[in-house]
Amino acid sequence: ALAGRGVVALGVDSSRTAVALTRRRGGSALQRNIFDRLPGEGRWQHALLADGNIGIGGDPAALLRRTARLIAADGDVLVELEPPGHGLRHERVRLRPGHADVAWFTWAWVGVDAIAEVAVRAGLRVGWTTRRGQRWFARLERL
């Protein structure tokens, strides 16, 4: 959708399948770890962490610090969150695609009520929060 409107966008995912799907739909994507070196670091106007991606690595503050290094000085990070009352939670989880067990890994969930504290630890602040249907979002900007 963004590419079709002339917006320069880059998806980053460790999943080969996710990258292939993005490319098939006309988007640009790299199969990498978000903590690896990425093109345009410090020059992106916006970064998006949707669909629970704030939980990557189990340390939302570390992920937000990394994401903050990707955006320009006046850039922002749009984060999808859990509803109010969920706070900050870390757990060891595993995916079982087709019931084939894979390794356990740490994941985190951040509620809209906990994002301000997590953002500050990453050198960011909450610009606003909003709800769209059942989904909650926050816009984060530099302190």
Tens digits of residue pLDDT in 46-97: 999 999 999 999 999 999 999 999 999 999 999 999 999 999 999 999 877 6
Smallest Cα–Cα separation from 70: which of 9, 131, 4?
9
Three-point CA angle 92, 76, 81, nearest 5°: 35
Residue 99 binned pLDDT confidence (cut-offs 50, 70, 90) = low
**Structural domain for 15, as ranges:** 1-32
Domain total for the chain? 2
Smallest Cα–Cα separation from 88: which of 120, 124, 69, 60?
60
Q: What is the pLDDT of residue 96?
A: 73
39 found inside a domain: no
Co-location of 58 and 113 in the same domain: yes
Co-location of 97 and 63 in the same domain: yes
The encoded tokens of residue 81 equal: 């969150």
38 found inside a domain: no
Co-location of 12 and 61 in the same domain: no
63 found inside a domain: yes
Smallest Cα–Cα separation from 137: which of 69, 97, 84?
84
Alpha-carbon span 79 to 50, nearest angstrom: 6
Give the pTM: 0.90
Q: Examine the pLDDT at 1 and tell me if it is beyond 80.
A: no
Co-location of 92 and 130 in the same domain: yes
Structure letter (DSSP) for residue 69: H
On the CB side of 25, CA atoms within 13 Å amount to 14
Residue 102 binned pLDDT confidence (cut-offs 50, 70, 90) = confident
Mean pLDDT, the chain, whole residue set = 93
State the Rg of the chain over Cα: 15
CATH number for the domain spanning 124: value is 3.40.50.150
Alpha-carbon span 91 to 41, nearest angstrom: 30
Co-location of 49 and 110 in the same domain: yes
Q: What is the pLDDT of residue 6?
A: 81
Co-location of 92 and 55 in the same domain: yes
